[in-house]
Amino acid sequence: EAGVTQFPSHSVIEKGQTVTLRCDPISGHDNLYWYRRVMGKEIKFLLHFVKESKQDESGMPNNRFLAERTGGTYSTLKVQPAELEDSGVYFCASSQGQTGAYEQYFGPGTRLTVT
């Protein structure tokens, strides 16, 4: 069974540009999460999908970030326009069940560098 995959593994963009990160969860997992680790800091929760619905987006830093999960399968996280402080590693995770109480399986992350 394939794990959570993320694309790209690394992205380098200039300030003001747009970047879209993609996450493919484990097949059959209704719950999908985005987290972010800024260098030297904690991994922080960004948002949680159940199928295609956003259940909690309380961790999204500002309106330059847009997450979608059309059809309840893969998800994208778009940053537009990117700022220097958006640099970090973006992790995606997925879990089974309807409530999010099950183990979260993480992808390898996308390292975003904004110059």
Partner 1 sequence: GDSVTQMEGPVTLSEEAFLTINCTYTATGYPSLFWYVQYPGEGLQLLLKATKADDKGSNKGFEATYRKETTSFHLEKGSVQVSDSAVYFCALKSGGSNYKLTFGKGTLLTVNP
The footprint of partner 1 (CB under 8 A) covers 3-4, 31, 33, 35, 37, 40-45, 48, 55-56, 59, 91, 93, 95, 99-101, 103-109
Q: Which is nearer to partner 1, 30 or 82 (CB)?
A: 30
Q: Which is nearer to partner 1, 17 or 38 (CB)?
A: 38
Helix (H) or strand (E) holding 19: strand 19-24
Q: Which is nearer to partner 1, 82 or 109 (CB)?
A: 109
Pairing type for strands 31-37 and 43-50 reads antiparallel
Least distance (Å) between residue 59 CB and partner 1:
8
Least distance (Å) between residue 84 CB and partner 1:
20
Q: Considering Cα of 70, then 73, then 77, then 78, what sign does the dihedral take? A: negative
Query: Length of the chain, please?
Result: 115
Q: Which is nearer to partner 1, 93 or 112 (CB)?
A: 93
Least distance (Å) between residue 16 CB and partner 1:
29
DSSP per-residue letters across 32-88: EEEEEE-TTS-EEEEEEEETTEEEE-TT--STTEEEE-GGGS-EEEEESS--GGG-E
Least distance (Å) between residue 85 CB and partner 1:
17
